[in-house]
Structure 1
Amino acid sequence: MKALVYDGVETLGFRDVPDAVAAAGQELVRIEASGICGSDMHAYLGHDDRRPAPLILGHEAAGVIVGGARDGTRVTINPLVNCGTCPACVSGRENLCPERMIISMPPREGAFAQFVAMRPENLVTVPDDVPLTKAALAEPLAVSWHAARLGLEALHAGASQTALVIGGGAIGLAAALALKAQGMDDVTIAEPSDTRRAFLTERCGQTVVHAGTGQYGLVVDAVGYSATRQVASALAEPGGMILHIGLGEDAGGLDVRRMTLQEITFIGTYTYTAQDFRDTCAAIFDGRLGPLDWTEHRPLAEGAAAFADLRAGVVAAPKIILTPWT
C-alpha cells in the first residue's frame, strides 16, 4: 500500500510500505480521508519524542471496512486504544488509561496510508449522506467536545456565560462550535493571523478578534504556549475557568498568584472518552456542529507539500484533509 512516511525533521516520503493486516479481533479499513493534526506537525518539526522516524503519522481518519461481516460499512475511527479493564476505563474515562495508545505512535502506525487495522469498538458507522471527508473531523472535534463538556459542567452558575477561545486552528474552531452546540452562545475566537481571521469570519461565521480583551467566564487555550497561557491567566474573570487543550510548549505563562487570589479554575484536558467520541459523531451527523465545510482537501501523494505550506503559515483553512486514492 502507499503511505506518507515521516523520515526525519521536515522530511516526508510518499512510497510503498507493507500492507496493513487485520489481526484477530480487528477490522481492515480502507482510508478515504485523513486530517493533518497539530501533533503531526510537532512530529514533523522534530518536537515529539513519542513519534520517532520512520513512522506513518495521522490519526484523524475515516474510511470503509474491507472484508468480514461488515464489508463496505462506512466508518470514522476513534484512534485512542485503551486496555478496557483499568479503573479509568471501567469508570468511562478511557482517555486517562495508563496503557492508552493512539495510532501514529509506535508500535501502531498511523492513518496517512491507504489502509489501517482497528478494533471494531473503535469504529463508528457513518450515515450514507455524510461525506467521509467530514466524518474524518470526528477526532479533532471530539477533543474540543470533551473540553467543552468538562468546562461547562464545572463552570460556576454565577460566572458570566462568555467564552474566549485562544487560537483559530482546527481545535480552536472546534471548541467554539462545541461550546455553542452545548449551550454557550457568546463565544469569541482570538486569532492573530489576518488570513485565518478573515476565513473564520467569512467562511465559518465566527466572531473573531485579533486579540482578546476584557474578562470571560471561560477561556480556552487551544494553542498551549507560554504566551497564550499568560493571556488566559489575564482574561479569565474572577471565579472563572481556563480550559487548556494545546500542547505547544511545556511550561511558563500561568499567573498562579492571580489564579489563586481570584479562584480561577484550571482544567487540563486531553483527548476524549469513548462516549464523547460517539456524542461528537452524533452532533456531526445531525448538523449541530454546522456544515463543517471549512477544510481543504489534497491528495496524500502531495502530503509533504501540505506540511510545508502549514509550516510556512500560508494555509487559511483550519484543517487540511489528505485523500489516499487521488
Structure 2
Amino acid sequence: MMKPRKNIALVTTPDHQIYMKEIPFPIAEPDEAIVHVKATGICGSDVKFWKTGGIGDYVVSKDIVLGHESSGVVIAIGSDVKNIQVGDRVSIEPGQSCWACGQCKSGRYNLCPDVKFVGTPPTDGTLARYIAHKASFLFKIPETMSFSTAALVEPISVALGGIQRSGLVFGQPVLICGAGPIGLNALAIAKAAGAYPILVTDIAQHKLSRAREMGADLVLCCQTSWDGKEVARRIRGLMGEVEEGLEPEVALECTGAQTSFYAAGYALRSGGVLMEIGNGHNEQMIPLQNLSMREVDVRFLFRYINTWPLVLRMLSAGKLVGVEEMITHTFKLEESVEAFLLAADPKGGSVKVQIVDEDEDEAE
C-alpha cells in the first residue's frame, strides 16, 4: 500500500478567482480507477472558464476544479475494472460518456447528452493530485513515453478530430489560422498526412517561429489593423508565390476569432472546406453570401472520437514531429496559480504550459 499525500487542486470561481485548495481523497466507483495525476496542460478553455466564466452554454456557476489535459499513474481500481491495473501509467481521455444513448450507440459518443467532461462545468477537472475516473477512458502508455508527452494526447486529439472532419488528403494546400497549441498540433498532423503547402497565420511572431521550426511552408504574421479580407488577400498572395493561382483548399481555423474566420472563408478556393476548430464568442457574424455563392463547406468540431489509441501510436513512433517542443514552461502542482497567470498573458511567450507533480507517494 502507498500512503497518499494531501490532495490539492486548482479551483476557479464564478467571480473569476483562481486558488489552490485541499480537497477530499477520491473514492472509486466499481468502474473507476484512482489516478495520481502527474502532468496536466493548460488549455485556452481553462483560461476562458477562469477569465470569462463560461464557454457557450457551459457556465461556471459554482467553484470548479479546472484541467482536462492529463496523464498519471493508477494507484487503485474499482471492483469491475479489467482493462488496467494498479501501477499502470495512463493518458486520460477527459470525456466520460454514458455508452447507452443513441449518439453513443451510433459511434458519436462525443455528442452524448449525458457526457461528464472533466474541467467543464459542472464536472470537476484533473488539476488535482488525485482523481477518480472511468477506467474505460484511461489508456496505458509505454514506459518510454513521459507523462508530459502523454498529457499532450488531448490537444493533439482536438486537432486530429478537426482534420478528420475536414477530409484533408495528401497534397492539398492547407491554411491553418492560429499557431497556438491546437494550430501547431494541426500543423504536425497535416505534415504527416502530406498536405502541401501549409500556411500558418498568427499575430504573435514567436508562435510563427515555432511553426517554421515544425515545418510550416509559409507563415503570415497578421496585423490587428487588417480586416479579414486583407488577411485573405495576403494569404492568397503567399500561396500564389508557390504556384500561380494556388489557393487553400482546406482551412483549419484554430482561434475562434471572427476576423480569422472571415479571412479563412475569403482565402479559400471555391468549393473548399472551412473547418472551425477554435472556440470564440457564442454569437458572431459570418460572410454568409460569399461562402454560399462559392459553395464553401463550413464544418464544426466538438472534441474528438476514438483518437487516443491512434495518437499514442503515432507519438510512440515519432510521427508527430515537434509536438513535445511546444511545452515551453513547466510548473509544480503547488505553483498552479502562477502557471495560469503565465498561460493567460499574451506577452508571456508561452505556447503550452504544463503543471506536474513528480513526487512519489510514501510507502507504508
TM value normalised by structure 1: 0.92
Give how far 1:174 is off: 1.0
Q: Tell me if structure 1 keeps the 8 A contact 2:16–2:53.
A: no
Where 1:254 maps in the other structure, the secondary structure is: coil
Q: 96-105 or 218-227: which moved more?
A: 96-105
Alignment-mate amino acid for residue 147 of structure 1: G
Alignment-mate amino acid for residue 311 of structure 1: A
User: Equivalent residue for 1:316?
Assistant: 349
Q: 279-288 or 70-79: which moved more?
A: 279-288
Alignment-mate amino acid for residue 180 of structure 2: G
Alignment-mate amino acid for residue 299 of structure 1: K
Query: Which of residues 290, 294, 306 is equivalent to 1:262?
Result: 294
Alignment-mate amino acid for residue 45 of structure 1: K
Where 2:26 maps in the other structure, the secondary structure is: coil
User: Equivalent residue for 2:67?
Assistant: 58
Query: Which of residues 183, 188, 195 is equivalent to 1:184?
Result: 195
Q: Show the 5 A alignment for 1:196-235.
A: 196-202=207-213, 204-207=214-217, 208-211=219-222, 213-214=235-236, 215-235=247-267
- Between the aligned partners of 1:169 and 1:53, the Cα distance in structure 2 is 29
Where 1:45 maps in the other structure, the secondary structure is: helix
- Between the aligned partners of 2:12 and 2:155, the Cα distance in structure 1 is 21
Q: Tell me if structure 2 keeps the 8 A contact 1:226–1:251.
A: no
User: Equivalent residue for 1:302?
Assistant: 335
Q: 141-150 or 297-306: which moved more?
A: 297-306
Q: Show the 5 A alignment for 1:27-38.
A: 27-38=33-44
Give how far 1:89 is off: 1.3
> Which structure has the larger Rg?
2
- Between the aligned partners of 1:40 and 1:33, the Cα distance in structure 2 is 15
Runs of 4+ in 1 over 4 A off after TM superposition: none
Q: Tell me if structure 2 keeps the 8 A contact 1:43–1:51.
A: yes
**Alignment RMSD:** 2.0
Q: 1:317 to 1:205 in 2, by over 3 A?
A: farther
Q: 14-23 or 237-246: which moved more?
A: 14-23
- Between the aligned partners of 2:349 and 2:174, the Cα distance in structure 1 is 23
User: Equivalent residue for 2:127?
Assistant: 112
Q: Show the 5 A alignment for 1:61-76.
A: 61-68=70-77, 70-76=85-91
Q: Tell me if structure 2 keeps the 8 A contact 1:145–1:276.
A: yes
Q: Tell me if structure 1 keeps the 8 A contact 2:14–2:53.
A: no
Alignment-mate amino acid for residue 135 of structure 1: A
Alignment-mate amino acid for residue 263 of structure 2: V
User: Equivalent residue for 1:150?
Assistant: 165
- Between the aligned partners of 1:23 and 1:300, the Cα distance in structure 2 is 26
Q: 294-303 or 34-43: which moved more?
A: 294-303
Q: 1:187 to 1:221 in 2, by over 3 A?
A: same
Give how far 1:325 is off: 4.3
Q: Tell me if structure 1 keeps the 8 A contact 2:160–2:186.
A: yes
Give how far 1:143 is off: 0.8
Q: Tell me if structure 2 keeps the 8 A contact 1:229–1:252.
A: no
Give how far 1:149 is off: 1.1
- Between the aligned partners of 1:53 and 1:187, the Cα distance in structure 2 is 42
Give how far 1:81 is off: 1.1
Q: Tell me if structure 2 keeps the 8 A contact 1:168–1:200.
A: yes
Alignment-mate amino acid for residue 145 of structure 1: L
User: Equivalent residue for 1:238?
Assistant: 270
Q: Tell me if structure 2 keeps the 8 A contact 1:225–1:250.
A: no
Tell me the number of residue pairs that the alignment of Structure 1 and Structure 2 aligns.
320
User: Equivalent residue for 1:80?
Assistant: 95
The superposition leaves residues 73-132 of structure 1 with CA deviations (integer Å, 9 ceiling, x where unpaired) of 000000011111222212221112222220113443111100111111101110000101
- Between the aligned partners of 1:4 and 1:325, the Cα distance in structure 2 is 17
Q: 1:106 to 1:192 in 2, by over 3 A?
A: closer
Where 2:167 maps in the other structure, the secondary structure is: helix
Give how far 1:139 is off: 0.6
Alignment-mate amino acid for residue 247 of structure 1: N
Where 1:62 maps in the other structure, the secondary structure is: strand
The superposition leaves residues 228-269 of structure 1 with CA deviations (integer Å, 9 ceiling, x where unpaired) of 111111111111110001112122242111111111011101
The superposition leaves residues 255-292 of structure 1 with CA deviations (integer Å, 9 ceiling, x where unpaired) of 1111111110111011001x223212221221111242
The superposition leaves residues 140-196 of structure 1 with CA deviations (integer Å, 9 ceiling, x where unpaired) of 10011111111126x7x9xx7111111111111111112222332422210111222
Give how far 1:8 is off: 4.4
Give how far 1:200 is off: 3.2
Matched, 1:279 2:289: no
Q: 1:206 to 1:42 in 2, by over 3 A?
A: same
- Between the aligned partners of 2:150 and 2:46, the Cα distance in structure 1 is 19
- Between the aligned partners of 2:196 and 2:95, the Cα distance in structure 1 is 30
Taking only the aligned residue pairs, the percentage that are identical comes to 24
Matched, 1:194 2:200: no
